[in-house]
Structure 1
Amino acid sequence: MQSLVLERQGELSLRDFPAIDHDEETLGPRDVRIRLHTVGICGSDVHYYTHGRIGPFVVNAPMILGHEASGTVIETGSDVSTLKPGDRVCMEPGIPEPNSRATRLGMYNVDPAVRFWATPPVHGILRPTCVHPEAFTFKLPDTVSFAEAAMVEPLAVGIHAATKARIKPGDNAVVMGAGPIGLVTALSALAAGCARVFLSDVAQPKLDIGAGLSRAIIPVNVAQDDLAKCVLRETDGWGADVVFEATGSPKAAAGIFQPLAPGGCVVMIGGQPDPIAYDAGAAMVREARVENIFRYAHAFPRCVNMIASGAIDVKPLITRTFAFSDSVQAFEIAASAPASDVKMQIEMPQ
């Protein structure tokens, strides 16, 4: 089974990979077998490639990459009732322990026992087929393409962040970071009811892409302009109701309260590898609410419906597509972080 394998930090290969656990490939009564079609390259995939680890998750053995995916059901377990062979689907990549306390409370994304694709020691899905639970596999409407469906996973992060922010119609928001997660967060904030979204970054090509998504997105190049001054100027000195931190940069995160309005909410999205400075005084005088998100929960059906209806258009974010045979090159390009690219995807052989 030819797969894209991270052999070790900095080394990828496209090769047969017979080491998938038998249990992982065994079709259970409530599972479906899926032929993969499109897989997105995520920043976490690239980070494992370039650094060999993310926090406590260390690549100690060869691991298949990829977790943003769509495909076609080719086989179903005996108790599957909502899917059939031929159905086009996208898949939520994190499988929690069904009886854990977190899962029973509805917070399955923070279950310590969750198994998430391409997170050591769990393999990803840059391979021909996978087995996945019916409960975390979602049928696609005819209006949603495989490429759009592979964007559901990153979009789910933005939808989860917007939900945690408790956006009200007419709110002003700031999204710090115009990478893939920042851009889907901006779209999610608008879909949730924001009147305007101030989008900040240092890469002008990414800001240009963001500005092209909606006239309600106001780009701010923080290499040239002061974000807080811009937001205060445009909001009569009041500030933004919500600030989303989607850079993962300690320097950017240090200023999260500066553009925030009194009583506003900060949502921390970007992963921080180390502890960051937290201005408790700035938060206190605003009586700020601070939310943190870890992946998402209960978001995939919402994302599919919003893409299908046209409420959110993710197509402009897909800036480059590679054949599976060019996967190694695709990761090399992604690791170089081209300023004009947002989401790169890989199409699997059919």
Structure 2
Amino acid sequence: MQALVLEEKLRLSLRDFPIEREETVGPHDVRIKLHTVGICGSDVHYYTHGGAGIFQVKAPMILGHEASGTVIETGGAVTTLKVGDRVCMEPGIPDPQSRATRMGQYNVDPAVRFWATPPVHGVLRPSVVHPAAFTFKLPDNVSFAEGAMVEPLAVGVHAAIKADVKPGDNALVIGAGPIGLVTALAALAAGCARVFVADVDDTKLALAAGLGPITPINVSREDATAAILKETEGWGVEIVFECSGNARAAAGVFDPLAPSGRVVFIGSQQGDVAYNVGKAMVREARVEHVFRYAHVFARCVAMLSSGAIDVKPLITRRFDFADSVRAFEIAASAPPGEVKMQIELPQ
């Protein structure tokens, strides 16, 4: 059975991979036939750079971790799912005995096994075995495409929780990529009255403006801080979400921040970021950091089903599994206006 394999930096192949024949269903597991898998920025970074920080690809690895599919086999102790259920999957499996997991912070468990993070294989393949506890049934009104968006949406919802959003807050989201836009949606759903989104891509900013009470700011033509202070009568925003991973943008997070505001760093930085302690101190700013998510998948599914959040506009292109290599080549070129690309597997 074919899988999309990162053989080495800048070399992908669709080929038979033995992992499909090695995975057995334990009593608390389910086997899932994959339907839709999103292309994440981390997948692309592994493809273009051969690694990300401490995670380096040292052997062929299957890519993909944003996924939905159908249960085709269940373990003997599974009672919450049955064959035929449509599901999405939380891709990280923590060690239940670790201290972080026992504290409820399983996302920062150093022993967590996360799909498509070396040396753990991803899910751009026909099927996968996964714990039922980290597999979530999709309501009838949530599509496979939306189900595959739960994983990135979980990052935004986790960020909104970390930001302690209060009804009527104003927020700035730096970066209009997939994570920036799901964060904007999560901030609005959590109670923000208005969200500013800053980027340099007019197409993405136009898409953002159609998602709700969102004010786009093209920072190649306009100073974001000046625009925000003008719109908020000099007060600023209560929350800044840094989703761009751009060092220059990250260095300016305190400038548009209101007194007692909160800053949440989400975007992965490739190097050290300047941190102006003085600007943070005079605002008594609270700074938070996000690493993936914890305890939010069920919330995300519920919000998609209720209509509280609509991720469909963010899905800008779909590819057949047979075109997976080309899909990654296109994603790596970062075409303007593209937000979330997805790959659909044969059914």
TM-score exceeds 0.5? yes
CA distance in 2, matches of 1:274, 1:94: 25
Question: Equivalents in 1 of 2:283, 2:21: separation in Å?
Answer: 52
Choose which of 123, 126, 137 in structure 2 pairs with 1:125: 123
The answer for the alignment partner of 2:97 in structure 1 is: 99
- Structure 2 spans left out of the alignment, 5+ residues: none
1:287 alignment partner in structure 2: 284
- The answer to whether the aligner puts 1:229 opposite 2:194 as a matched pair is no
Shift of 1:21: 8.1
Q: 2:33 aligns with which of 35, 41, 44?
A: 35
Match of 1:126, SS? coil
CA distance in 2, matches of 1:272, 1:139: 34
* Secondary structure, counterpart of 1:237 in structure 2: coil
Contact 2:156/2:186 (<8 A) preserved: yes
What's the secondary structure of 2:210's corresponding residue?
Answer: helix
Matched, 1:238 2:235: yes
RMSD, matched Cα = 0.7
Structure 1: give runs of 5+ residues left out of the alignment: none
**Alignment correspondent of 1:11:** 11
Deviations 1:8-38 (A, max 9, x none): 000000111115683xx11100000000000
1:256-306 deviations in whole A, cap 9, x for unaligned? 000000000000000112111100010001000000010000010000000
Cα distance per residue 1:181-201 (max 9 Å; x no partner): 000000000000000000000
TM-score (norm 1): 0.98
Report what 2:65 is aligned to. Answer: 67
Deviations 1:96-151 (A, max 9, x none): 00111100100000000000000000000000000000000000100100000000
**Structure-2 separation of matches of 1:49 and 1:84:** 35
- Give % identity: 72
Structure 2 residue corresponding to 1:202, chosen from 187, 200, 203: 200
Q: How many residues align?
A: 347
Q: Cα offset for 1:232?
A: 0.5
- Distance in 1, matches of 2:10 and 2:187, equals 36
> Could you tell me which residue of structure 1 aligns to residue 45 of structure 2?
47
In structure 1, what is the Cα distance between the partners aligned to 2:40 and 2:19? Answer: 23
Structure 2 contact 20–128 (Cα < 8 Å) conserved: no
Equivalent position SS for 2:97? coil
Structure 1 residue runs of 4+, over 4 Å off?
none
The answer to whether structure 1 residue 310 and structure 2 residue 313 are counterparts is no
2:40 is aligned with what amino acid? C
Residue by residue over 1:233-252, the C-alpha shift from the partner in whole angstroms, topping out at 9 and shown as x without a partner, is 01110000000000001011
SS in 2 for 1:122: coil
CA distance in 2 between counterparts of 1:260 and 1:99 reads 40
Paired amino acid for 1:286:
R
In the alignment, what sits opposite 1:114? 112
TM-score by length of 2: 0.99
Q: Which residue of 1 is the match for residue 139 of structure 2?
A: 141
Counterpart code for 2:270: P
SS at match of 1:79: coil
Quote how far apart the aligned CAs of 1:212 are: 1.1
